[in-house]
Amino acid sequence: MTLVPPVSFPRQRPHSARKVFLSHEEVKKIHGTHFRMSSTVDPILRLLEVTRSITGVLDLDQLLQHILNQAVEMMKAERGYLLLLDPDTSLPMARRLQVRASYRLGAEELLEEDFQLSRTAILKVLEGGNTHHSQDALKEPNPSHSVEMFGLRSILCEPLIVQDRMQGVLYLDSRIINRFSPWCREVLPSLASQAAICIENAKLLSQREEAMRAQYQDQMRALEMEAWKNAMAAFVSIASHDLKGPLTVLQNGLALLNRRLNDPPNPDLLKDMEVSLLRARRLVEDYLDAAALQQGQTLSLRWEPIDLHQLVQRELTQVEANLHVKKRDLYRFINAVPPDTLVHSDEMRLRQVLANLLENAVKYGRGTISVRLHPGEGERAWVEVSDEGPGIPLESQDRLFDRYFRAEPNSSVRGTGLGLWIVRQVVEALGGEVAVSSQPNQGARFSFSLQTILPQVPPEPPAEPALPGRARPASA
């Protein structure tokens, strides 16, 4: 049972007694059962049985309810409550008391204004630390308001104490005079003592589990921080290496141009410088996008119709130009996208996706690298980039699009682990999906969906209505 607000004792209307107490017929039935039980059942054996049952419950809330249920059944009370003290000793005693278990009263009823306990009995137990027993509470001097309101007669309160520390109170009451017999008053202190020990053990176990959970969370945060630091160190190293290549080409090209001011520039040199400049720019754009996405920012998009065949061809040409001359014969690039295929997308973002997928295919694949278009549902289609490399392990495929993840971290191929993550972020921003399919030694196929633009067929002009008495001319 969850914690409820501390017990208060305002004066309330007496109309809740019917909800809390048993009927007179039920009371008589219980009284007869009590008489038979007290004459046939050994209280010591019953106490041992109950003690064994409560020691096997480890969950604190379940334990509290089980203790109360057993106490009510042993004592044959009509109502019962188990109250614990809040550990904050700076609070007043009335605010420290919290009902943690109840018998014949639901948790929602505990929150009602009509809920009442015997304030006098509970405070006597808390102040003196001893058992409180009332044979006929209505006849005692200055009976409390709750006693008068509910017609209480028998009240039995037992403190829950462990090592001289007050934990709470076990409260039982009844409308029957002298309900709790001498053997009940003898057995209840032993039960309360065992219950207090079990409660203390359950609290310690709960605190230990909470401390272990906190320790585990701290360790996981430390591991995540260490992994993040390692990933960032690797990222900075690889990013610096990736940028150094194209920047070196630009630097050498400018040096050659300065030495040959009177000669016309070499077209191949200018082409290499242009390719290197574009590569450096794209690397910077990827890094800036990654930083923006990690900060929760959204990508800017500019929607327009795009000729997908031409865009793919430009990207294939760029990827081939980035290859070293000695490696260009190791690959064959195929543009299998039908000509005049129009898509609705952002050209810069679409080129960014294709560039990352093609660069990934060149890094980890080999042989033929092709780009194809497959029909999807409705006006959507799937763009597929495939290679003939060694493939991707099945256990790594689910994490390929995670940030900083690399399927083969010990590979000699350098990478930041951001390329495919950026691909997924951009494709999802464009309203599409990403997918991967791979088998060992059969290459890999990366796909993403986008919206196509169906060819616009001009509507036929409306036919001229035939005039009366004139036949419609036949079409040629």
Give per-residue pLDDT as tens, 443-474.
999 999 998 875 444 445 555 544 444 344 44
Which of 223-232, 337-346, 415-424, 435-444 has the least mean pLDDT? 223-232
388 versus 120: which is more confidently predicted? 388
Q: How many CA atoms lie within 13 A of 75 on its CB side?
A: 36
Give the pLDDT confidence of 151-172 residue by residue, as tens digits: 677 888 899 998 888 889 998 8
- The fold of 14-211 is Beta-Lactamase (3.30.450)
Q: In this structure, which topology does domain 304-453 adopt according to CATH?
A: Heat Shock Protein 90 (3.30.565)
Contact between 286 and 418 (Cβ < 8 Å): yes
How far apart CA 403 and CA 423 sit, in angstroms, is 11
Q: How confident is the model at residue 298 (pLDDT cuts 50, 70, 90)?
A: confident
Contacts of residue 393, Cβ cutoff 8 Å, sequence gap at least 6: 407, 440
129: pLDDT strictly greater than 60? yes
Average pLDDT value over all residues in the chain: 77
The reported pLDDT for the residue numbered 445 is: 94
What's phi and psi for 134, nearest 5 deg?
-120, 120
Report how far apart, in Å, the C-alpha atoms of 147 and of each of 174, 175, 277, 401 are.
10, 9, 90, 69
pLDDT tens readout for residues 162-205 = 888 888 999 888 888 888 888 888 888 888 988 999 999 888 88
**What ranges do the domains of the chain cover?**
14-211, 304-453
pTM over 0.75: no
Question: What pLDDT is stored for residue 237 in this prediction?
Answer: 60
Token pair for 466? 């035939």
Is the Cβ–Cβ distance between 344 and 452 less than 8 Å?
Answer: yes
Residues 6+ positions from 153 with CB-CB distance below 8 Å:
134, 135, 136, 137, 138, 174, 175, 176, 177, 178, 179
Of the listed ranges 240-254, 287-301, 348-362, the least confidently predicted one is: 240-254
Query: When comparing pLDDT for 284 and 442, which is higher?
Result: 442
Helix H or strand E segment including 195: helix 182-259
Mean pLDDT in residue range 357-383 = 90
If pLDDT is split at 50, 70 and 90, which confidence band does 368 have? very high
pLDDT at 19: 41
Residue-wise pLDDT tens digits, 210-239: 888 888 888 888 887 777 666 666 666 666
Specify the pLDDT at position 416.
Answer: 65
Beta bridge partners of 372: 384
DSSP3 helix / strand / coil % (the chain, rounded to 5): 50, 15, 35
Using CA atoms, how far residue 425 sits from 27, 396, 429, in Å, is 70, 19, 6
